[in-house]
Copies of this chain bind each other. A is one copy, B any other.
């Protein structure tokens, strides 16, 4: 089996690559070759059980799509995108990378004869915008309130139409907000959801800009990788024509997040969270979804983290070697 990963230098891309190295297969099919692609050349994994190409490619350019599909990969994980904040600031770049990039990839696939790969596409709950019913059902309409969400929603429509026409075998994975994101504090409006867990566990203060009753929809990086792997192997006919799925997640209020941190790591850690209300962030977050039914994805075998404590423990295990600064 041959695999391509776009956005392979990103956080999820790196973790997905690690998982492919660990498993050496998807389902029962051994992986022979993996191409890792990103706007910077991805660092290849050490001692992989398959051949690896690491490619610097701008997915906003059609020739990149032709290059990535030339080897006729069986599975393409399309994670490459610019993030929400950047897509909002740079309108042209957002459309070029997040919309045209996906369309180029679909067109490059369609241009090849007798070729119909599984394309696992990273979408986002940003395709939804307030006001919402609670919980948000699987048949709720796309009402993005950002250019990023618009671009992902357009990509979802294209993925379904190209699949319906038999040009590709697409699965759209609508990710919850990923928590806990490793690395340095992020300036994204959603960054605080990860910051208030990651920083206290590292012995540092974290600032909470919203009230504790804010509820949101989360998945660990480990679950996100599980979603992509499961999406690569799933039977497309069982999914039917509605190929884009809201992934199951953990609905938690900030208060529940803090309580989970307290139960897992103790009072001293939880007390490192400092209240610092920020009106601008509160306004942005007010437009975000709270919780979803995600029934279809669950029926199709996609599984969420058990609860928010499990999300915290996944971070401690995967990023901190099992311990933290008490």
Contact = CB atoms under 8 A, between A and B. Distances in A.
A26 to B, nearest CB: 28
B160 A150 contact: yes
Contact of A150 (B141, B144, B158): B158
A147 interface: yes
Contacts of A129: 241
Contact of A158 (B142, B154, B242): B154
Contacts of A324: none
B157 A142 contact: yes
Contacts of A160: 143-144, 150
A165 interface: yes
B142 A142 contact: yes
A12 interface: no
B141 A141 contact: yes
A140 B142 contact: no
Interface residues of A, number: 22
Contacts of A165: 91, 147
Q: Which of A141, A142, A147 gathers most chain B CB within 10 Å?
A: A141
A145 interface: yes
A96 to B, nearest CB: 12
B145 A241 contact: yes
28 contacts: A91-B165, A129-B241, A133-B139, A139-B140, A139-B141, A140-B141, A141-B141, A141-B142, A142-B142, A142-B157, A143-B160, A143-B241, A143-B242, A144-B157, A144-B160, A144-B161, A145-B164, A145-B241, A147-B165, A150-B157, A150-B158, A150-B160, A150-B161, A153-B157, A154-B154, A154-B157, A154-B158, A157-B157
Given A141-B141, A150-B157, 15 more contacts: A91-B165, A133-B139, A139-B141, A140-B141, A141-B142, A143-B241, A143-B242, A144-B157, A144-B161, A147-B165, A150-B158, A150-B160, A150-B161, A154-B157, A157-B157
Interface of A: 91, 129, 133, 139-145, 147, 150, 153-154, 157-158, 160-161, 164-165, 241-242
